[in-house]
């Protein structure tokens, strides 16, 4: 189970300006990426963070995954505070980040095995798990190729195998179907559904997307994020009802863009 409570994060971005004017005192720009994001993702459930571009989804998930430190708020993974007990909390988490980041000179198998070793897995157990995952993700022919030159879909599969190798109870995926074709998207959807069911381990899965059809098809629970804030939460049906909309697209537009000043939802 993953709980994110009142997350906040700002960045200092470099201002525009040419090097020739560097002698002038330039003011840097403060960007509030996440202002008040809260959600509770249950085990055995796929929770979707849905929001427009720049809403703060990636930044929120990076905080959940311990990749960046929140300015405010907290994250718990299975009751463990990510800031206080990062090792224990992150050992229970598999992460597919937006930058898939593979080592190009290593084969897919070596990429995954390396990560397994970092997680403290014995080599034999890691190899057995890699074979299982390669079957599940339909990537056996890829395993012993260097990842250099892999297609987008092949990279996603490898990164996903790496995220799942230590069999984490919680899985966080940033835009997992980005760049995948229809067949790969369907296959990935099936894998995620399987992992969320009792026979797949009843995992807690959190994913981000800006594609509402994707979220509508896959997610049991939806968290709508807009302008760095959680603005609504619930099942697709509940959100449609709340927005008084006939379909999910209308509900999303009404809820996400309704009122810039609306109150953020508590956890």
Ligand X SMILES: Nc1ncnc2c1ncn2[C@@H]1O[C@H](COP(=O)(O)OP(=O)(O)OP(=O)(O)O)[C@@H](O)[C@H]1O
Pick out residues in 127-186 that bind ligand X (CB under 6 A): none
Residue 33 binds ligand X (CB under 6 A): yes
204 class by beta-carbon count within 10 Å (0-12 exposed, 13-18 middle, 19+ buried): buried
Q: Are 75 and 82 in contact (CB under 8 A)?
A: yes
Place of tokens 């798990």: 129
The residue from 210, 229, 233, 254 that contacts ligand X (CB under 6 A) is 210
Looking at beta carbons only, is 31 or 183 nearer to ligand X?
Answer: 31
Which residues sit opposite 12 in a β-bridge?
30
Indicate which of ligand X, Mg ion, none lies near residue 59 (CB less than 5 to 8 Å, by partner kind).
ligand X
56 binds ligand X (CB under 6 A): yes
Burial 133-172 (b: 16+ CB within 10 A, else e): bbebbebeebbeeebeebeebbbbbbbbbbbbbbebbbbb
Q: How far apart are CA 85 and CA 223, in angstroms?
A: 26
Residue ranges in 57-96 that form contacts with ligand X under rule CB under 6 A = 57-59
**221-226: strand order across its sheet:** 80-81, 72-77, 2-13, 29-41, 229-234, 221-226, 45-50, 204-209, 170-174, 93-96
Supply the minimum distance, in Å, between the C-beta of residue 126 and Mg ion. 30
| Binds 51: which of ligand X, Mg ion, none (CB < 5-8 Å by kind) | ligand X
SS3 content of the chain, % helix, strand, coil (to 5): 40, 25, 35
30, containing H or E segment = strand 29-41
11 binds, among Mg ion, ligand X, none (CB under 5 to 8 A by kind): ligand X
- 3-class secondary structure, 137: coil
Q: How many residues bind ligand X (CB under 6 A)?
A: 13
User: Which of the stretches 39-47, 56-64, 180-188, 189-197 binds ligand X when contact is defined by CB under 6 A?
Assistant: 56-64
Task: Point out which span in 48-56, 109-117, 132-140, 187-195 binds ligand X (CB under 6 A).
Answer: 48-56
Distance CA 48, CA 43 (A): 13
- Between CA 32 and CA 175 the distance in angstroms is 21
Smallest distance from ligand X to CB 13, Å: 4
Give which of ligand X, Mg ion, none residue 203 binds (C-beta under 5 to 8 Å, depending on kind): none
Residue 227 within binding range of ligand X, rule CB under 6 A: no
**Pattern 39-68, Mg ion, x by CB under 5 A:** ------------------xx----------
- Select from 96, 109, 128 the least CA-distant residue to 192: 96
Residue closer to Mg ion (CB basis): 58 or 136? 58
Under rule CB under 6 A, residue 258 binds ligand X:
no
- Number of Cβ within 10 Å of residue 132's Cβ equals 14
Among 51, 70, 73, 176, binds ligand X (CB under 6 A): 51
234 binds ligand X (CB under 6 A): no
Interface residues with ligand X (CB under 6 A) are 11, 13, 31, 33, 51, 53-59, 210
Interface residues with Mg ion (CB under 5 A) are 57-58
């Amino acid at each position: 189970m993953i709980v994110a409570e009142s997350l906040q994060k700002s960045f200092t971005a470099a201002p525009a300006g040419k090097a020739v004017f560097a002698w002038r005192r330039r003011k840097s720009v403060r960007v509030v990426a996440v202002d008040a994001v809260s959600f509770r993702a249950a085990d055995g459930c796929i929770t979707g963070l849905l929001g427009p571009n720049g809403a703060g989804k990636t930044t929120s998930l990076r905080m959940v995954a311990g990749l960046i430190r929140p300015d405010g708020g907290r994250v718990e993974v299975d009751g463990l505070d990510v800031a206080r007990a990062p090792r224990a909390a992150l050992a229970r988490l598999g992460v597919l980040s937006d930058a898939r980041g593979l080592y190009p000179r290593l084969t897919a198998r070596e990429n995954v095995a390396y990560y397994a070793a970092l997680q403290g897995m014995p080599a034999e157990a890691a190899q057995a798990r890699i074979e299982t995952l390669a079957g599940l993700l339909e990537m056996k022919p890829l395993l012993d190729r260097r990842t250099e030159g892999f297609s987008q879909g092949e990279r996603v599969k490898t990164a996903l195998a790496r995220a799942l190798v230590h069999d984490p109870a919680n899985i966080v995926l940033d835009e997992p179907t980005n760049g995948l074709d229809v067949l790969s998207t369907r296959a990935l959807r099936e894998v995620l559904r399987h992992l969320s069911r009792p026979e797949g381990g009843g995992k807690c899965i959190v994913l981000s997307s800006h594609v509402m059809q994707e979220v509508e098809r896959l997610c049991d629970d939806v968290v709508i994020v807009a302008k760095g804030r959680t603005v609504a939460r619930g099942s697709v049906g509940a959100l449609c009802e709340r927005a008084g909309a006939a379909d999910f697209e209308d509900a999303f537009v009404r809820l996400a863009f309704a009122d810039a000043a609306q109150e953020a939802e508590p956890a």
